């Protein structure tokens, strides 16, 4: 029997007893059980879905102390952050509960018949949605609550009427199992089938890939690396019956800071930015990895301020020893490609020190290696000669979850061009604050052009996340009894 070992992130020691890896037969059983649970869940009312989602939120909160302590042991993210993340996860479950209750999944377009010959005349049409089917959900390492077992993918899929099979992340196995235990208690208490939410764990093709290939699976949802996401997307596309795969991948999240604003608010912005770079040890998909500045005295002063503020940061241990090693390798890769270090210190075996470097815009544009994401507290200053060159830098980035534009308060040819350039490559454009922190709101868009996500027309955070798991159906000349359903399942 294959086993899996969890580790304490702060010390690298083994944590708890080894856990059994899910066998191929168990993967198939989880997918089949989700498939068996689909018909009834697809036919469930908004109220039933809301009751489940609220029950899951309450269950998380009821075990808060134990969950946060375990999460902290496995991830080193600290109790303040982890309590906040648990709050966010419960909030998100309740937000999708409210949406389910309001009937968002059952919204419909009534398109009455128009008499006469086509193309003007047409029969009575109604457009509504059906859930896709069981979702294979791949947890992320860096959000053990909000992008894991009960995270946004699971919440939005359940609200849409889809069962979920979760692939637990190896970085927080015990936490995943403890949360899954709560899920099973809630399902049992509400008389729902255990297979409505499944959990599998383990590495290699026998687990995650097998799940994506299973005929009962109708969609994939993933948060993680570009390499891992692209490989699973390829599997999803290569099935005899291809399925949509929603991957939220890596991103370097450029921050463009214009000189006039830096002249007046440089010190404050430097402190804010340094905090964002080091937050959670830089382990966010939205961590600002590139800072684009226009050459001049204001920008030089800002870099000195940023250097000081960043040197004062003390990042905590990274999530896993593998990520800690990957950080050093990524920094080395940047330096080898020509990034000139401004702040580079050794750190220890678990926690790195923040890294800051600088490059000329022309080099950044010319060399792919300078544009690669380094997961951790790293940022590269890109020196541009002009707004036109800033635009070339953004174009070279190509796709990012976010672009931050500081100093665009005034309407001008330059700020318009920068807004266009930012919108062309990002899912979210910020004009104040920092990109870390993704609000769960109606207008949120967490998903940008490739390589930041596989399907940039969709979002993994915010209300529109539910749309990923719904498919429209037009009903033509529907009978009266069916129209009376008003979009609700028959």
Q: Give the active site residues.
A: 248, 285
Other Cβ atoms within 10 Å of 29 Cβ, number:
15
DSSP class of 176: H
Long-range contacts of 353-356 (CB under 8 A, 24+ apart): 353/315, 353/377, 354/274, 354/277, 354/278, 354/282, 354/310, 354/311, 354/313, 354/315, 354/378, 354/379, 355/331, 355/379, 356/306, 356/307, 356/310, 356/380, 356/381
Residue closer to a second copy, measured from CB, 19 or 160 = 160
Cβ at position 291, least distance to a second copy in Å: 18
Binding to a second copy, residues 14-43 (CB under 8 A): 39, 42-43
Assess 367 for contact with a second copy (CB under 8 A): no
Tokens of 140: 């992320």
Stretch that binds a second copy, among 61-69, 163-171, 179-187, 457-465 (CB under 8 A): 457-465
Restricting to residues 368-427, name those near a second copy by CB under 8 A: 398-399, 408-411, 415-416, 419-420, 423-424, 426-427
By CB under 8 A, name the one of 80, 312, 388, 482 that touches a second copy. 482
Under the binding rule (CB under 8 A), the answer on residue 444 touching a second copy is yes
| Residue 433 φ/ψ, nearest 5 degrees | 70, -165
Contact flag: residue 88 with a second copy (CB under 8 A) = yes
Total Cβ atoms within 10 A of residue 410: 9
Nearest distance in Å: CB 42, a second copy: 8
Q: Which stretch binds a second copy (CB under 8 A): 25-33, 80-88, 195-203, 291-299?
A: 80-88
Structure tokens at 296: 């001049």
* Residue 450 contacts a second copy per CB under 8 A: yes
Whole-angstrom Cα distance, residue 388 to residue 381?
Answer: 17
Of residues 93-122, those binding a second copy (CB under 8 A)? 109-111, 114, 118-120, 122
235-238: long-range pairs with CB below 8 Å, 24+: 235/209, 236/212
The least CB distance from residue 293 to a second copy, in Å, is 20
Select the residue interacting with a second copy from 61, 260, 473, 486 (CB under 8 A): 473
What the block records as the tokens of 250 is: 């890596």
Question: With CB under 8 A as the contact rule, which of the stretches 8-16, 300-308, 350-358, 470-478 interacts with a second copy?
Answer: 470-478
Q: How far is the CB of 476 from a second copy (least distance, A)?
A: 4
Question: Which of residues 17 and 480 has its CB atom nearest to a second copy in the complex?
Answer: 480
In whole angstroms, give the CA distance from residue 319 to residue 76.
Answer: 6
227-266 residues in contact with a second copy (CB under 8 A) are 233-234, 237, 241-244
């Amino acid at each position: 029997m294959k086993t899996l070992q969890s580790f304490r992130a702060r010390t690298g020691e083994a944590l708890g007893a080894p856990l059994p890896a899910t066998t191929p037969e168990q993967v198939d059983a989880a997918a089949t059980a989700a498939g068996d649970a689909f018909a009834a869940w697809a036919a469930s009312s908004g109220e039933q879905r809301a009751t489940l989602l609220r029950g899951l939120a309450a269950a998380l909160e009821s075990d808060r102390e134990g969950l946060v302590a375990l999460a902290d042991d496995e991830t080193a993210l600290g109790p303040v952050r982890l309590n906040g993340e648990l709050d966010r996860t419960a909030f998100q479950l309740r937000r999708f509960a409210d949406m389910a209750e309001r009937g968002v999944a059952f919204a419909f377009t009534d398109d009455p018949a128009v008499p006469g010959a086509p193309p003007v005349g047409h029969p009575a049409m109604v457009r509504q949605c059906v859930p896709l089917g069981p979702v294979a959900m791949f947890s992320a390492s860096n959000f053990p609550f909000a992008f894991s077992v009960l995270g946004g993918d699971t919440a939005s899929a359940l609200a849409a009427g889809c069962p979920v099979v979760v692939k637990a992340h190896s970085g927080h196995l015990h936490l995943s199992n403890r949360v899954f235990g709560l899920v099973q208690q809630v399902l049992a208490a509400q008389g729902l089938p255990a297979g409505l939410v499944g959990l599998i764990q383990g590495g290699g093709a026998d687990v995650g890939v097998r799940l994506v290939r299973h005929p009962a699976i109708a969609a994939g949802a993933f948060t993680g690396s570009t390499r891992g996401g692209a490989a699973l997307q390829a599997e999803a596309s290569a099935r005899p019956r291809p399925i949509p795969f929603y991957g939220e991948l890596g991103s370097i999240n450029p921050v463009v800071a214009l000189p006039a604003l830096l002249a007046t608010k440089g010190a404050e912005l430097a402190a804010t930015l340094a905090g964002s770079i080091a937050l959670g040890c830089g382990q966010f998909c939205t961590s600002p990895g590139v800072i684009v500045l226009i050459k001049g005295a204001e920008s030089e002063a800002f870099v000195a301020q940023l250097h000081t503020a960043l040197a004062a940061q003390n990042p905590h241990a990274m999530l896993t020893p593998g990520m800690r090693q990957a950080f050093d390798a990524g920094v080395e890769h940047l330096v080898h490609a020509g990034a000139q270090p401004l702040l580079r210190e050794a750190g220890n075996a678990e926690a790195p020190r923040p890294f800051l470097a600088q490059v000329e815009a022309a080099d950044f544009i010319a060399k792919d290696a300078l544009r690669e994401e380094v997961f951790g507290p790293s940022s590269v200053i890109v020196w541009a000669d002009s707004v036109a060159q800033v635009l070339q830098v953004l174009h070279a980035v190509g796709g990012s979850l976010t672009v931050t534009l500081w100093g665009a308060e005034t309407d001008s040819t330059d700020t318009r061009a920068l807004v266009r350039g930012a919108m062309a490559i990002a899912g979210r454009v910020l004009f104040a604050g920092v990109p870390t922190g993704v609000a769960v709101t109606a207008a949120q868009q967490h998903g940008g052009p490739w390589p930041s996500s596989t399907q940039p027309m969709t979002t993994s955070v915010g209300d529109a996340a539910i749309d990923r798991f719904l498919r429209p159906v037009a009903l033509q000349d529907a009978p009266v009894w069916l129209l009376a359903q008003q979009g609700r399942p028959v």
